[in-house]
């Protein structure tokens, strides 16, 4: 009887030890009597792909490139609800995580999206993963800006021929009826929210000419040039504007416009006539 009792105690002790080991495993703690099947989710690297360099004084490039500033959400694709949310810097406090088998979206982000802003923009990335039974799935997320960077460079010679000048951009879905404008002394860029595949934006250049450079017979000193530019996310687009003056008998003032998409090493230059209004 004593031997039989000893064997029973040893068997019971082994079972308790095994149960204890399983409960410490974050991936396979199914719970007593649970009919759910679980796997484990883990997060690998978080990378940031931003072509905006340099940023404005109001923005810190280091902040957007520092992955420790990013927030991570795990969303159940079946229910659409958040399973968990945490700072990437404290990821090890939350992952690996036991999740019911199924598909999930992992979203990482920093900042906030505005139709256009000089103070803030959104960098975001997401990926989907299927969690399978009794296995660990490790995923990585790559983030990039949801906006394009717009800037204007007025050639110094503009001040020779015009008292005033400005550029206005309009036409994105996020802007609606709003516009972003550069006055003649304004050099800071705008960060403009764009659709995933990019958008076409309208620009209008308005000018007030000096009296000495008005076209012959002109009854107004105001003029404008209009056009369009294709914008893409995570791309810097710069409009460089310079005057090209000829005596009024030879055509008067025209503008040379250069669109520089620096991330593509691509420049488009053309000369357009000034329309007096």
Whether pTM exceeds 0.85 = no
Q: What is residue 51's predicted lDDT score, i.e. its pLDDT?
A: 72
Domain boundary, last residue among 145, 171, 197: 145
Is residue 234 located within the same domain as residue 166?
yes
Q: What is residue 34's predicted lDDT score, i.e. its pLDDT?
A: 60
Domain that residue 88 falls in: 34-145
Q: What is residue 260's predicted lDDT score, i.e. its pLDDT?
A: 81
Domain boundary, last residue among 92, 127, 145: 145
Task: Give a yes or no: residue 24 inside a domain.
Answer: no
Q: What is residue 174's predicted lDDT score, i.e. its pLDDT?
A: 97
Is residue 98 located within the same domain as residue 208?
no
Is residue 113 located within the same domain as residue 175?
no
Q: What is residue 275's predicted lDDT score, i.e. its pLDDT?
A: 82
Domain boundary, last residue among 87, 117, 145: 145
Measure Cα distances from 110 to 70, 120, 249 in Å: 5, 10, 56
Number of domains forming the structure of the chain: 2
Is residue 53 located within the same domain as residue 110?
yes
- Averaged pLDDT in 10-residue chunks for the chain of 277 residues: 37 35 42 75 94 65 89 97 97 96 98 95 97 96 95 93 96 96 92 96 94 82 91 91 77 82 59 77
Q: What is residue 26's predicted lDDT score, i.e. its pLDDT?
A: 46
Is residue 137 located within the same domain as residue 175?
no
Is residue 61 located within the same domain as residue 164?
no
Q: What is residue 250's predicted lDDT score, i.e. its pLDDT?
A: 58
Is residue 154 located within the same domain as residue 218?
yes
Q: What is residue 216's predicted lDDT score, i.e. its pLDDT?
A: 76
Task: Give a yes or no: residue 4 inside a domain.
Answer: no
CATH of the domain at 110: 2.60.40
Is residue 117 located within the same domain as residue 70?
yes
Task: Give a yes or no: residue 153 inside a domain.
Answer: yes
- Rounded Cα gap, residues 146 and 198, in angstroms: 10
């Amino acid at each position: 009887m004593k031997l039989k009792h000893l064997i029973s105690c040893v068997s019971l002790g082994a079972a308790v030890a095994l149960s204890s080991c399983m409960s410490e495993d974050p991936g396979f703690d199914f719970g007593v009597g649970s009919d759910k099947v679980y796997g484990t989710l883990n997060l690998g690297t978080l990378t940031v792909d931003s072509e905006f360099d340099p940023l404005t004084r109001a923005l810190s490039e280091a902040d957007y490139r520092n992955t420790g500033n990013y927030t991570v959400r795990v969303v159940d694709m079946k229910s659409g609800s958040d399973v968990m949310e945490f700072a990437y810097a404290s990821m090890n406090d939350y992952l690996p995580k036991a999740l019911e088998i199924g598909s999930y979206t992992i979203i990482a982000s920093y900042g906030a999206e505005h139709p256009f802003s000089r103070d803030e923009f959104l960098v975001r990335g997401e990926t989907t993963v299927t969690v399978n039974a009794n296995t660990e799935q490790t995923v990585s997320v790559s983030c990039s800006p949801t906006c394009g960077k717009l800037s204007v460079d007025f050639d110094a010679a503009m001040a020779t021929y015009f008292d005033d000048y400005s550029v206005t951009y309009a036409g994105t879905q996020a802007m609606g009826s709003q516009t972003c404008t550069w006055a003649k002394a304004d050099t800071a860029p705008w960060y403009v929210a764009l659709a995933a595949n990019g958008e076409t934006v309208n620009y209008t250049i308005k000018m007030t000419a000096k009296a000495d450079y008005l076209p012959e017979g002109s009854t107004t000193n105001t003029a404008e040039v209009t056009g369009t530019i294709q914008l893409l996310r995570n791309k810097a687009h710069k409009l460089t504007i310079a005057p090209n003056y000829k005596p009024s008998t030879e055509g008067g003032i025209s503008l040379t416009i250069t669109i520089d998409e620096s991330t593509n090493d691509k420049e488009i230059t053309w000369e357009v006539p000034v329309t007096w209004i």
